Structure 1
Amino acid sequence: MPPEALRRRAGGGTARAAAALPALPPDPGDAVTAAHVLHADGAARGNPGPAAIGAVLFAPGRLEPVAVVSEAIGRATNNEAEYRALLAGLEAARSAGVTDLVVRLDSELLVRQATGQYRVKAPGLKPLFEQLRALLSGFGSVRFEHVPRERNALADDLANAALDR
């Protein structure tokens, strides 16, 4: 979807966030996958504190986003915000008809919980984890990748922009 159409479909702050998207160089790993790529990040100022989410979905080999999420979510912990960013990104991917997905997150905890390497112990995360499991069952394949913060900067910028609005 061209950025203009994305901006028309997006409302409020999301449209502004989509308009502010920089041109991104392709990630070397994207050329070798036929899957869509989702970057998601949550931010909280205080723990818990005011929180927001950011997510951006790219089609294989494309630099234009298919979907962008940038919204405040009220008061949450940093890990709750991370989960909610992922859930919003997965919802956007599902709405776009995506079946195969690579998810890139800078939260090692979330990647390890999503892949079953860590148990979910925090009571506030358990319902979010159950939502995640339910959403994941609707995709053909999903691969999680933990990436350094600088490789998730766009999603981080979207979350922080929502906090600043």
Structure 2
Amino acid sequence: MTTPDTPHLDATDLKILNELVTNARIPITELARKVGLSKTPVAARMRQLEEIGLITGYRAILSPLRLGLTHVTYVEMRLSDTRHRALEQFNQAVRNIPEIEECYMIAGGFDYLLKVRSRDMADYRRIMAEKLSALPHVHSTSSYVAMEAVVEQTWTSL
């Protein structure tokens, strides 16, 4: 189903996207073979998918576990000021903290939910003391340490 903001994708577009999600480094000739087109139309479709913002980039996906970032903490943040300017200040500041893997504005009993990766509890305490508590307009926080990742995935198919 498409909406005005959702582009129409045909079966070939979906094949291209599925192949790229699986292996973004696939040579264009191999991708063309897999989707049943020549290189030129596949390259044109990829350019179009990039132009409409469906493909936002190509990157290596690093393993946080292999990097030693095995400690995951979810942090509820309540702000002292939720006017537009305060939210903008918070949003900008939170983008500058590399340990924050995800950040969502929430409708509910608190204002933001952050996913923070660290090496261990001592590292998390340092991040909390030096970075998270220093974010603009923070009124209070609650931390929840993950014991085990039951499902943790990236998009690997459509």
Q: Same fold (TM over 0.5)?
A: no
- Bigger fraction of residues in strand: 1
- Bigger fraction of residues in helix: 1
State the TM-score, normalizing by the size of structure 1: 0.24
State the TM-score, normalizing by the size of structure 2: 0.25
Larger radius of gyration: 2
